[in-house]
């Protein structure tokens, strides 16, 4: 449905060679829900604006269904768009707001109102059609903005941080709502967000951007379980992944990673190539892949608990290695049943099949 081919966008005067988007390639299938996710300034909004036709790429091609659209005007692209600020017209009723894009296309008022009614029913706001935006809650305004974007039956829906003005609870409801409507209508949708939980919950695939480049483009579980590089691994996950410096060693047929805290055998059948032996790596372990061990011989590390945070669904335990040479902080996630005390020393086990090893010479590639 959508192909971005080698897209570059330079803003005049921007630092770092001026590239806000730097050679981006992306394919989006019909009916797919894709999130563009990354830290502030990574090029998400710039990419969305180029899809909308509100910005022109410096170079590269944008195709909608094999048709080059680089020079197609926004109004001729058959897209609906919802912005962070909703931008509803305050002097118009909900009905007229939803009908606005249709009236702009010279649709007769009666037909436009009929379509507005149908769309408002899908979004369950048909009882609000006579109100003005100022008489609506934030969540209702959000739905009106969605209805307006969908009223002209677009092939592509672009969402720019559409939930950032909603409170935490409402966000969850609206998120489900957006996903349901998107499924029902089958409209190809791209959402820009800096909220990773939102992106992972709502999308079929997520493109992680950094510095105007795609770091990984994959379904949520793949990103989480098989991060392509150190950036993706450390960006995704809350609480974040533990990252520990280590050296790869080989003794006879077995490979080990040696850190200041412990030694861990790299489980078979994973084998690193010879060029990595003796090299520094970052060892990545997610907090829920560490556990507090009660069985002798099972544990790899003994650490002192500094802080316990109760997260509702579990406990986040922050620990340091007081006795050893390292003051590195390690995070562990455990259930609520475990009785733990700050200042207590505990034995920690590692699930070795869940570890990640990142190359420190090749842009942090996951080995």
Q: Segment 223-282, which members bind ligand ATP (CB under 6 A)?
A: none
The 3-state secondary structure of 71-139, one letter per residue = CCCHHHCCEEEECCCCCCCCCCCHHHHHHHHHHHCCCCHHHHHHHHHHHHHHCCCHHHCCCCHHHCCHH
CB of 114 to ligand ATP, least distance (A): 37
What b/e readout covers 42-51, taking b as 16+ CB neighbours within 10 angstroms? bbbbbbbbbb
* 112: phi then psi, degrees, rounded to nearest 5: -65, -40
Site for ligand ATP in 6-45 (CB under 6 A): 11, 14, 20, 38, 40-45
Helix (H, G, I), strand (E, B), or coil: what is residue 70? coil
CB of 11 to ligand ATP, least distance (A): 3
Question: Is the CB of 41 or the CB of 240 nearer to ligand ATP?
Answer: 41
Nearer CB in complex with ligand ATP: 36/333: 36
The residue among 15 and 313 lying less far from ligand ATP, judged by its C-beta, is 15
Least distance from C-beta 328 to ligand ATP, angstroms? 31
Q: Enumerate residues 114-173 that contact ligand ATP by CB under 6 A.
A: none
CB of 170 to ligand ATP, least distance (A): 21
Question: Residue 163 or residue 248: which is nearer to ligand ATP going by CB?
Answer: 163
What's the min distance (Å) between Cβ of 203 and ligand ATP? 16
Size of the site for ligand ATP (CB under 6 A): 12
Q: Please state the closest distance from residue 271 (CB atom) to ligand ATP, in A.
A: 38
* Count of beta carbons in the 10 Å neighbourhood of residue 62: 23
> Which residues within the stretch 64-93 sit at the binding site for ligand ATP (CB under 6 A)?
none
Binding mask 171-200 for ligand ATP (x = CB under 6 A): -----------------------x------
For ligand ATP, the closer CB: 18 or 324: 18
Least CB distance from residue 35 to ligand ATP, whole Å? 12
For residues 153 and 309, what is the distance between their CA atoms, to the nearest angstrom? 47
Q: 37 or 181, CB closer to ligand ATP? A: 37
SS3 sequence, 288-346?
A: HHEEECCCCCCCCEEEEEEEEEECCCCEEEEEECCCCCCCCEEEEEECCCCCCCCCCEE
Cβ partners under 8 Å of residue 49, min gap 6: 55
**Closest alpha carbon to 281 in 221, 213, 233:** 233
Nearer to ligand ATP, 46 or 119 (CB): 46
DSSP 266: P
Give the residues lining the site for ligand ATP (CB under 6 A). Answer: 11, 14, 20, 38, 40-46, 194
């Amino acid at each position: 449905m959508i192909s971005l081919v080698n897209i570059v966008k330079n803003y005049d005067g921007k630092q770092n060679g001026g590239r806000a988007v730097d050679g981006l390639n992306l394919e989006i299938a019909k009916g797919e829900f894709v999130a563009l996710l990354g830290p502030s300034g990574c090029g998400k909004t710039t990419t969305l604006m180029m899809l909308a036709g509100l910005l022109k790429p410096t170079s590269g091609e944008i195709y909608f269904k094999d048709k080059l659209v680089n020079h197609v005007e926004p109004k001729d692209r058959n897209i609906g768009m919802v912005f962070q600020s909703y931008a509803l017209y305050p002097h118009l009723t909900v009905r007229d707001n939803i009908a606005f894009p249709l009236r702009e296309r010279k649709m007769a008022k009666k037909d436009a109102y009929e379509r507005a009614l149908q769309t408002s029913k899908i979004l369950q706001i048909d009882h609000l059609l006579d109100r003005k935006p100022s008489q609506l809650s934030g969540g209702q305004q959000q739905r009106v903005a969605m209805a307006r974007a969908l009223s002209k039956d677009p092939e592509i829906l672009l969402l720019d941080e559409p939930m950032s003005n909603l409170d935490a609870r409402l966000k969850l409801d609206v998120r489900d709502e957006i996903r349901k409507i998107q499924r029902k209508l089958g409209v190809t949708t791209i959402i820009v967000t800096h909220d990773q939980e939102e992106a992972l919950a709502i999308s079929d695939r997520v493109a992680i951007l950094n510095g105007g480049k795609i770091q990984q483009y994959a379904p949520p579980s793949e990103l989480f379980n098989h991060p392509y590089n150190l950036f993706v691994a450390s960006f995704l996950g809350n609480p974040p992944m533990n990252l520990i410096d280590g050296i790869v060693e080989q003794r006879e047929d077995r490979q080990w990673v040696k850190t200041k805290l412990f030694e861990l055998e790299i489980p078979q059948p994973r084998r690193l190539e010879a060029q990595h032996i003796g090299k520094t790596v970052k060892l990545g372990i997610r907090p829920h892949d560490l556990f507090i061990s009660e069985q002798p011989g099972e544990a790899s590390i003994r650490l002192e608990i500094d802080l316990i945070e109760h997260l509702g669904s579990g406990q986040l335990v922050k620990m340091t290695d007081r006795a050893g040479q390292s003051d590195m902080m390690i995070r562990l996630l455990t259930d609520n049943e475990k009785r733990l005390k700050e200042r207590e020393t505990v034995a920690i086990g590692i699930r070795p099949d869940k570890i990640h090893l990142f190359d420190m010479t090749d842009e942090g590639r996951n080995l």
